[in-house]
Structure 1
Amino acid sequence: MTHKPSGAQPPAHRFQHLRDRFMASWAGLVWSRGRELELMHRAMGFAALGFLTLVPLLIVVAAADPASGQGFARWLGQALGVSPASEDEVGRLFGVPGAALQRTTAFGLAALTVFGLTFGSVVQTGYEKVWDLPTARWHTMWRHVVFLALLICFLLAFVNTPNPLNSALGAAIGVLADLIGTCAFFWVAQRVLLGGRVRWCALFPGAAATALGLLGLRIFSQLVFSPLIASNTVVYGPIGTVLVIQSWLVGVGVVVYGGAIIGRIIHERRVHRRMAEADEE
Structure 2
Amino acid sequence: MAGRQPDRRAYWRARWRHSIMGRILSGYAEVELMRRSMAFATLGLVTLIPLLILVAAVDPFSPRGFGQWIADGMGLPESTAAPLVRVFRTPHGIAKQTGALSLTLLVVFGLTFVAEVQIGYEEIWRLPARSLLRFWHRSWRLVVWLAALTGYASFEVASGRLLQHGTFASAVRIFIFVTAGLLFFWWGQYFLLAGRVEWSRLLPGAIATVAGLSGLRAFSSLVFDPMIASGAEADGAVGVVLVVVSWLIGVGFVIYGGSLVGRCYHEHRSARE
| TM-score normalised per structure 2 | 0.89
Give the conservation status (yes or no) of the 8 Å contact 2:232–2:240.
yes
Q: Name the CA distance, whole Å, in 2 between partners of 1:221 and 1:15.
A: 41
Between structure 1 and structure 2, the one with the greater Rg is: 1
Task: Give 1:103-142 correspondences, 5 Å limit.
Answer: 103-136=97-130, 137-138=134-135, 139-142=137-140
Q: CA deviation at 1:56?
A: 0.1
Q: Name the CA distance, whole Å, in 1 between partners of 2:115 and 2:152.
A: 18
Q: Name the CA distance, whole Å, in 2 between partners of 1:15 and 1:222.
A: 44
Gaps of 5+ in 2: none
Partner of 1:161: 159
Q: Name the CA distance, whole Å, in 2 between partners of 1:88 and 1:15.
A: 56
Q: CA deviation at 1:237?
A: 1.2
Q: CA deviation at 1:29?
A: 1.9
Task: Give 1:5-84 correspondences, 5 Å limit.
Answer: 23-84=17-78
Partner of 1:279: none
Q: Evaluate the alpha carbon distance shift between residue 170 and residue 41 of structure 1 in structure 2; reply closer, same or farther with a 3 A threshold.
A: same
Q: CA deviation at 1:66?
A: 2.2
Look up the equivalent residue of 1:92 and give its one-letter code. R
User: Deviations 1:91-121 (Å, cap 9, x if unpaired)?
Assistant: 0001246443244222111100000000110
Look up the equivalent residue of 1:173 and give its one-letter code. V
Give the fraction of aligned pairs with identical amino acids, expressed as a percent: 44
Partner of 1:269: 268
Q: Name the CA distance, whole Å, in 2 between partners of 1:165 and 1:47.
A: 28
Partner of 1:240: 239
Give the conservation status (yes or no) of the 8 Å contact 1:59–1:100.
no
The count of corresponding residues between Structure 1 and Structure 2 is 267
Q: Name the CA distance, whole Å, in 2 between partners of 1:147 and 1:190.
A: 10
SS in structure 1 opposite 2:129?
Answer: coil
User: Deviations 1:120-171 (Å, cap 9, x if unpaired)?
Assistant: 1000000000111112322111110011010011011111114658333432
Q: Evaluate the alpha carbon distance shift between residue 70 and residue 208 of structure 1 in structure 2; reply closer, same or farther with a 3 A threshold.
A: same
Q: Name the CA distance, whole Å, in 1 between partners of 2:249 and 2:190.
A: 23
Q: Evaluate the alpha carbon distance shift between residue 24 and residue 145 of structure 1 in structure 2; reply closer, same or farther with a 3 A threshold.
A: same
Q: Which moved more, 1:158-167 or 1:204-213?
A: 158-167
RMSD: 2.6
Give the conservation status (yes or no) of the 8 Å contact 2:18–2:268.
no
Gaps of 5+ in 1: 1-5, 277-281
Q: CA deviation at 1:27?
A: 2.5
Q: Evaluate the alpha carbon distance shift between residue 216 and residue 15 of structure 1 in structure 2; reply closer, same or farther with a 3 A threshold.
A: farther
| TM-score normalised per structure 1 | 0.87
Q: CA deviation at 1:183?
A: 0.9
Q: Which moved more, 1:246-255 or 1:262-271?
A: 262-271
Q: Name the CA distance, whole Å, in 2 between partners of 1:250 and 1:42.
A: 9
Look up the equivalent residue of 2:27 and give its one-letter code. R
